[in-house]
């Protein structure tokens, strides 16, 4: 079973790009506090959403906002132009939700 559940804050404004097949793709990073640490350690987790979920994130999510997501972990490997093996680990979003009330501005 490959299931990820995260609660964290957006580190920047989500921006949608269009993939080669015309599908909307958004990448954003969640700052997630580690449980059971007194130092306030934070992990920065890269997340990816596709299609209508991508456009929703771009339209409604803002930098600093608390967001809850569920999805699955995906690890992609490739060899770069210099011949080095590279790896990228990211959460592929299946669901994303607001996790706090509306802020006063």
Stated as kind and residue range, the H or E segment containing 16 is: strand 15-18
Alpha-carbon gap, residue 24 to 93, rounded angstroms:
13
CA angle, 43 then 46 then 47, to 5°: 130
The mean per-residue pLDDT over the stretch 60-64 comes to: 94
Identify whether the C-beta of residue 16 lies closer than 8 Å to the C-beta of residue 55.
yes
pLDDT band at 103 (very low <50, low <70, confident <90, very high): low
Query: Global pTM?
Result: 0.85
**Residue 94's pLDDT band (cuts 50, 70, 90):** very high
């Amino acid at each position: 079973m490959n299931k990820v559940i995260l609660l964290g804050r957006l580190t920047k404004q989500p921006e949608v790009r269009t993939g080669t097949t015309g599908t909307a793709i958004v990448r954003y990073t969640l700052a997630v506090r580690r449980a059971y640490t007194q130092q306030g350690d934070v992990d920065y987790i890269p997340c990816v959403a596709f299609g209508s979920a991508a456009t929703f994130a771009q339209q409604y999510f803002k930098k600093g906002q608390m967001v809850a997501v569920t999805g699955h972990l995906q690890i992609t490997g490739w060899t770069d132009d210099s011949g080095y093996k590279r790896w990228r680990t990211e959460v592929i979003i299946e669901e994303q939700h607001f996790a706090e009330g509306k802020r006063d501005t």
